[in-house]
């Protein structure tokens, strides 16, 4: 930063005074948590300029920064660790712990101009750096490599350091002119991939030599875990082409971005990227671990314009995201066209740059989405990163009076520009689909189930119910560490399962307090008795925006309304009517309908794999597990229960069965004909349960509430 001071949260970093010989540029490093809360900020610098060009983290939260400086000495805040410049520009690599304390710093340089640009880390905390050097030799720790063309050109270097800052190896890509390494990646096997550009007649890694096609070409090289070159690929057009960033997945697929030369088509292996206009064209391309180009896409502006891909990173699924900037009045990314927010001319270039961000599908390069941001002055997208739970982070600089990301507007402090960092400009908190909704076994209330294991970074789940057409009301919240289910007891006014069907939706609230969108609705099955043993329901069990999930509906009958159910008929999942052919034989029976389908829910306790309707009885509207005349002969206390409850009966007890809210047997115990029995609930989750108690006098049903 060039400013006299820069403010991050509660911390102000001050710069050295600028002089005629000292431009006063220092480095800042700032940490925010996943919610955007400021944690700390650090600075580094000396008596002249420095640039931070790459930042990476490891699994322990340590932070690595690389770049270059031309101060006599490079200091890192108040740390006693300092680096002494060997010549004009030297590269550096510094490691901070998660609290911002400097652990070590290494000089990357020789007797001339040497710069570090790209940085990555692996699972073991090793750091990999790439850049360029003009020195006779570049020294990285105890390792060095020569510039094979002397000091008349810039060569590529790639270096590996372990977690303690010890150099492991260094290698170079060389030629007779200027060759630069901008991006570096590593796969799960420890192979290293480096991307950049070269202007030499030929570029050479080890014994591999490839010729230049134009003014500047793109290169991509693979090194093994010891730094030995395995293959090199070149790409580009007949003009000036650059690879500015690289990202590699665990399998060794590499994604590169940058720009292609003016008014010329670009070639990546056997793939041609067409540039139909007189412009510099941003691109993204994918190569496999063997160096085969799998796909490549151009990002097309109007005539006499410039667009650039500045940074590429991958999400957990391996899908690439890129950020960059453009000054065309429109920018075509496949089927999507973005428009410059400072549109001045039509069909050509505007002198003002805007930011673009895009996500592609890893397997085929199809565009998932694209976004733009900017205002009336220059705005640049420089870096992008991904995180857990679909988190996306972008950074850059803006000179416009204000800039807006996802509804949040930032206002610049002066006309010299500010830095921005933004998260989730095109994504939101993930909402898992509802797995199913059902009526409980006593036909007293509805239950909503979801599989919470499909998401992380979630604080809680919000449940919504439709009481007015297309208007969903928040009816309850369930913490993430609770079961993935919600019992809707609001049955007096709104959600009586014996009176109507209901639709439900779900939303998540992440650990930052941000709520995601509503899921697709599921509706319950509500059956009515039409006479003659016929039951109907309307609507079918429905999942919004989804094909009919039901294979068959099954009619279940409880002959004496005592809780013993048998299947008596079934029909196709597209039907809304079913008949019991033996209904006349069982005048006191109760009925419900349940689904046969491929859905199976795991609310982190017991598998639930069918949805059921309300219960209807022909003679008395029986509701399965209903308390009967014998209920008064048995007491269950305490109820509600926290740990254990005592069952006492006037007649001796022979067995006790405990069922959950959807009729699944949880506990079944034979009792040695006693009048008193203690049942433990300490291992069970909170909720509604049903006791089936067999006594000498008959079967007794009791409802219990576990707190």
SS3 for 29-68 is EEEECCCCCEEEEEEEECCCCEEEEEEEECCCCCEEEEEE
Average pLDDT of the residues of the chain: 88
Residue 627, C-beta contacts closer than 8 angstroms, at least 6 positions apart = 700, 701, 702, 703
Query: Over the range 125-163, which residues count as b (16 or more CB within 10 Å of their CB) and which as e?
Result: bbbbbbbbbbbebbbbbebbbebebeeebbbbbbbbbeb
How distant is the alpha carbon of residue 655 from its chain centre? Answer: 50
The pTM is what? 0.71
For 410, half-sphere exposure in the C-beta direction (CA atoms, 13 angstrom radius) is 21
Q: Once rounded to an integer, what is the mean pLDDT over residues 26-47?
A: 87
pLDDT value, residue 345: 53
Dist CA 701 CA 637 (whole Å):
14
Dist CA 633 CA 648 (whole Å):
8
pLDDT value, residue 628: 58
Q: Once rounded to an integer, what is the mean pLDDT over residues 162-177?
A: 94
Dist CA 199 CA 212 (whole Å):
7
Q: Higher confidence at residue 546 or residue 686? A: 546
Highest averaged pLDDT of the listed ranges 88-97, 276-285, 693-702: 88-97
Q: Strand (E) positions, 365-444?
A: 367-373, 379-386, 392-398, 402-405, 408-411, 418-423, 434-439
Dist CA 254 CA 120 (whole Å):
13
Position 432 pLDDT exceeds 80: no
Bridging pattern class, strands 336-339 and 330-333: antiparallel
Position 625 pLDDT exceeds 60: no
Confidence of residue 149 (pLDDT cuts 50, 70, 90): low
Query: Over the range 420-440, which residues count as b (16 or more CB within 10 Å of their CB) and which as e?
Result: bbbbbbbbebbbbbbbbbbbb
Over pLDDT 90: what percentage of the chain?
53
What's the pLDDT tens digit per position in 528-543? 999 999 999 999 999 9
Sketch the domain layout of the chain as residue ranges. Answer: 434-617, 629-706
pLDDT value, residue 448: 96
Nearest to 357 by CA among 390, 388, 320: 320
What's the pLDDT tens digit per position in 60-104? 999 999 999 998 999 998 899 999 999 889 999 999 999 999 999
Tell me whether domains 434-617 and 629-706 share a fold. Answer: yes
CATH fold of 629-706 reads Immunoglobulin-like (2.60.40)
Position 622 pLDDT exceeds 60: no
Confidence of residue 623 (pLDDT cuts 50, 70, 90): very low
What DSSP element (H or E) covers 590? strand 590-597
CB–CB of 119/313 below 8 Å? no
Residue 601 Cα distances to 434, 460, 464, angstroms? 9, 18, 19
pLDDT value, residue 308: 96
Neighbouring CB atoms inside 10 A of 234's CB total 21
What superfamily would CATH give domain 434-617? Immunoglobulins (2.60.40.10)
Dist CA 696 CA 673 (whole Å):
9
pLDDT value, residue 2: 65
């Amino acid at each position: 930063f060039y400013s006299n001071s820069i403010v991050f949260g509660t911390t102000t970093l001050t710069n050295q005074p600028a002089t005629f010989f000292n431009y006063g540029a220092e480095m800042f490093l700032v940490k925010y948590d996943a919610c955007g809360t400021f944690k700390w900020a650090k600075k580094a610098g000396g008596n002249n300029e420095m640039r931070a060009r790459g930042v990476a983290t490891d699994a322990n939260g340590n932070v690595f920064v690389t770049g270059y400086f031309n101060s006599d000495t490079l200091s890192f805040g108040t740390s006693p660790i300092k680096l002494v410049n060997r010549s004009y520009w030297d590269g550096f690599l510094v490691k901070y712990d998660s609290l911002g304390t400097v652990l070590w710093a290494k000089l990357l340089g020789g007797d001339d101009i040497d710069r570090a640009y790209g940085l990555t880390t692996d699972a073991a905390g090793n750091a990999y750096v790439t850049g360029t050097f003009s020195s006779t030799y570049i020294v990285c720790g105890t390792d060095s490599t020569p510039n094979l063309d002397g000091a008349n050109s810039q060569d590529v270097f790639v270096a590996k350091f372990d977690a303690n800052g010890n150099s492991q190896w260094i290698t170079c890509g060389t030629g007779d002119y200027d060759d630069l390494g901008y991006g570096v990646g590593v796969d799960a096997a420890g192979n290293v991939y480096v991307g950049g550009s070269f202007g030499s007649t030929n570029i050479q890694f080890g014994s591999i030599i490839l010729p230049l096609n134009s003014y500047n070409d793109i290169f991509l090289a693979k090194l093994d875990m010891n730094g030995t070159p395995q293959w090199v690929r070149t790409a580009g057009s007949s003009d000036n082409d650059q690879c500015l960033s690289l990202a590699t997945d665990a399998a060794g697929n590499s994604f590169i971005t940058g720009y292609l030369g003016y008014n010329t088509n670009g070639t990546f292996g056997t793939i041609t990227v067409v540039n139909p206009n007189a412009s510099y064209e941003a691109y993204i391309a994918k190569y496999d671990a063997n160096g085969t180009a799998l796909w490549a896409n151009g990002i097309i502006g109007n005539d006499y314009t410039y667009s650039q891909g500045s940074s590429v990173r991958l999400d957990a699924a391996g899908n690439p995201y890129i950020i960059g900037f453009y000054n065309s009045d429109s920018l075509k990314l496949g089927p999507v066209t973005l428009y410059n927010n400072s549109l001045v001319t039509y069909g050509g270039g505007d002198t003002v740059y805007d930011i673009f961000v895009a996500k592609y599908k890893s397997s085929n390069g199809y565009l998932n989405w694209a976004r733009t941001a900017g205002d009336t002055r220059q705005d640049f997208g420089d870096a992008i990163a991904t995180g857990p739970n679909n988190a996306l982070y972008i950074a850059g600089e803006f000179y416009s009076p204000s800039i807006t990301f996802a509804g949040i507007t930032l206002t610049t402090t002066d006309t010299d520009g500010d830095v921005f960092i933004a998260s989730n400009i095109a994504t939101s908190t993930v909402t898992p689909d509802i797995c199913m909704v059902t009526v409980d076994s006593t036909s007293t209330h509805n239950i909503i189930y979801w599989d919470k294991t499909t998401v992380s970074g979630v604080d809680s789940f919000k449940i919504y119910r439709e009481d007015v057409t297309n208007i969903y009301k928040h009816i309850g919240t369930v913490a993430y560490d609770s079961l993935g289910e919600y019992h809707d007891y609001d049955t007096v006014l709104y959600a009586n399962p014996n009176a109507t069907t209901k639709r439900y939706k779900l939303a998540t609230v992440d650990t930052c307090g941000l709520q995601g969108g509503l899921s697709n609705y599921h509706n319950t099955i509500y059956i009515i008795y039409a006479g003659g043993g016929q039951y109907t329901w309307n609507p079918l069990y429905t999942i919004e925006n989804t094909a009919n999930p039901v294979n068959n509906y099954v009619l279940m009958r409880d002959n004496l309304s005592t809780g013993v159910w048998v299947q008596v008929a079934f029909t196709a999942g597209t039907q809304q009517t079913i008949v019991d052919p033996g209904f006349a034989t069982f005048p006191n029976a109760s009925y419900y309908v349940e689904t046969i389908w491929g859905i199976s829910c795991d609310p982190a306790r017991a598998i639930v794999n069918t949805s059921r309707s309300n219960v209807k009885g022909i003679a008395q509207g029986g509701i399965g597990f209903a308390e009967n005349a014998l209920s008064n002969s048995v007491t269950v206390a305490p109820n509600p229960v926290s740990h254990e409850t005592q069952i006492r009966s006037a007649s001796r007890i022979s067995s006790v069965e405990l069922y959950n809210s959807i009729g699944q047997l949880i506990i079944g115990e034979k009792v040695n004909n006693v009048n008193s029995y203690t049942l433990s609930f300490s291992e069970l989750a909170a909720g509604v349960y049903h006791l089936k108690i067999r006594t000498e006098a008959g079967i007794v049903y009791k409802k219990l509430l576990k707190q």
